[in-house]
Amino acid sequence: MSKRKRIVESANHTIVLGITVAIVIFPFFWMVATSLTPPEETLTTNIFPSRLYFDNYRVIWQSMPLMRYLRNSTFVGLCTTIISLLISLPAGYSMSRYRTKVARGGMMLFIFSQLIPGVLPFIAFYFIMFNLNLTNTFAGLIIAYSVWSIPFCVLMMNGYFTTAIPSSLEEGASIDGCSKFGVFFRIALPLSVPGIASVAIFSFILAWNEFMWASVILTNNDLKPVSVGIFDFVGQHGNTASVGLMMASAVIVTIPTLILFGFLQKFLISGLTAGAVKG
């Protein structure tokens, strides 16, 4: 390949990458810019505000119990993540190592569950929660989130255990006298940290961003997560000036997930790509 052709290909890749990044980043840029825009300029076509207006953030902290909403979302997200890990790790491992008819049937059910729209079983699931007195409780919300998180997490961990961790390591440990539980805890889990991180990020972000279940199950303001809290706040201030307030609250809510992703991104990428090629 000639030098000129390599330069042209490199330039094409750079242009395509730049356009893709711009498309992805622009909504976040617009969100931050709008949060810093004065109310009188909210509906204008200017992308950049004439001056930085930080009062939106001040009003958010003063007029909305944002810290309480953030604590609620963090608690529910962490509990959902822990439950998803405790169930999906052994389930995914057992299905990847013991390919019985029961395991294959379970995998088909998990795959089928991903094809069902979330609103389809909504009414039936709500009445189950109501009859169990789990509405208006953190426990009911955590169970609802876990029900939708666990099947996908099991599928992810099954693929990771199957393709990324060679069974020869486990066979060697078994020959040395390690039990099945010992193989799982001493061999499989330490080698599956990228997959575990991917599952953890997925579960936490699902619980953090979810709105529908929380808006129906919870009516107590002290228990509402940040997604529902922002919605209620915007409903109470339904005017042009509230656009900047809504964007300011969205910026604050986005920061924790960005920090989490920043710390765990290398594990997330390796965990998602580990099952793509068998080694």
The architecture of the domain spanning 61-273 is: Orthogonal Bundle (1.10)
pTM of the model: 0.80
d(CA 83, CA 95): 18
The answer to whether 141 and 213 have CB atoms below 8 angstroms apart is yes
Q: What is the pLDDT of residue 275?
A: 46
pLDDT of residue 277: 42
CA distance 132 to 118: 21
The angle subtended at Cα 212 by Cα 125 and Cα 224, nearest 5°, is: 105
What's the residue count for the chain?
279
Map out the domains of the chain as residue ranges: 3-35, 61-273
279 residues of the chain, pLDDT tens digit each: 577 777 777 888 889 888 988 888 888 888 888 888 887 777 666 777 777 888 888 888 887 888 888 899 999 999 999 999 999 999 888 888 887 788 788 788 888 877 777 777 888 888 888 898 988 899 999 998 998 899 889 988 888 888 877 777 777 777 777 788 888 888 888 888 888 888 888 899 889 888 888 888 888 888 889 888 888 877 666 555 577 888 888 888 888 878 877 776 666 665 555 544 444
The DSSP output letter for 39 is G
pLDDT, residue 186, reads 83
Q: Determine the pLDDT at residue 271.
A: 53
* CB 160 within 8 Å of CB 193: no
